[in-house]
Amino acid sequence: SDLQKQEERGELLQPLIFILLVLCSVLLYFKVSLMDPGFVKPEEEVKEGEDKGQGVVIPQIPGDIKLRRCGYCLVKQPMRARHCQLCQHCVRRYDHHCPWLENCVGERNHPLFIVYLSVQLVVLLWGGHVAWSGLYFEQSWEWLQHNIFLLVCFLLIFIFTIVVLLLLVSHLYLISCNTTTWEFMSHHRISYLRHSELENPFDQGIILNLWRFFC
């Protein structure tokens, strides 16, 4: 049959890989959306310098900066944690609250969030290539009627691709500097950054920053 011939020629391998990537993207979405991003538990007693990922850079932060209790949930916040009013929890190494995920991106799910964006970008680029290959341009109303759906799909894929690409690049840049979106946007409001002698006291070099984050 035609299906067997296509299988023998390897023509079914690419659609299968594409479907698996889409499935992987969906599973990653639900995983990142539903998992604990690093909520600070009320029963935890956090000591200064205990926050994961600070390493040898803690002595560079002024000693008069003390850990404070959250004014909302009353837990003792680790350094780099922030209270999210949408999640009603303090989140370790808080990056941002993602409205698409309906969850915070923090210490525990940030690496998976980057993996999700990467897989999503591959899916969008592949889908955009498929949509573009199906277009042949003619200056006629009849052509537009027959290709309007494919054209709209390509434009939507193009827009989403730009958004995901910019988001992924910006996050990789911040990770390489060992900073978060919250710290980058609100540097002047955060006491341990505002009073630090260094612009970013957590930066340990690109290689070590990436290693600590992903490994």
User: Quick check: 92 and 80 in contact, CB under 8 A?
Assistant: yes
Q: Which of 24, 70, 73, 98 is catalytic?
A: 98
- Token pair, residue 39, equals 């909520």
- Token pair, residue 210, equals 């990436």
Q: 141-176 vs 206-214: helix axis angle to the nearest 10?
A: 100
CA distances from 90 to 52, 71, 114 (A): 15, 10, 21
- Token pair, residue 43, equals 């029963």
How would you label 104-128 residue by residue, b for 16+ Cβ within 10 Å and e otherwise?
Answer: bbbbbbbeebbebbebbbebbebbb
Would you call 98 a catalytic residue per the annotation? yes
In 103-212 the beta strands, taken as DSSP E runs, fall at 103-105
Closest-CA residue to 119 (of 177, 211, 32): 32
CA atoms within 13 A on the CB side of 83: 13
CA distances from 213 to 43, 51, 175, 189 (A): 26, 14, 7, 24
- Catalytically active residues are 98
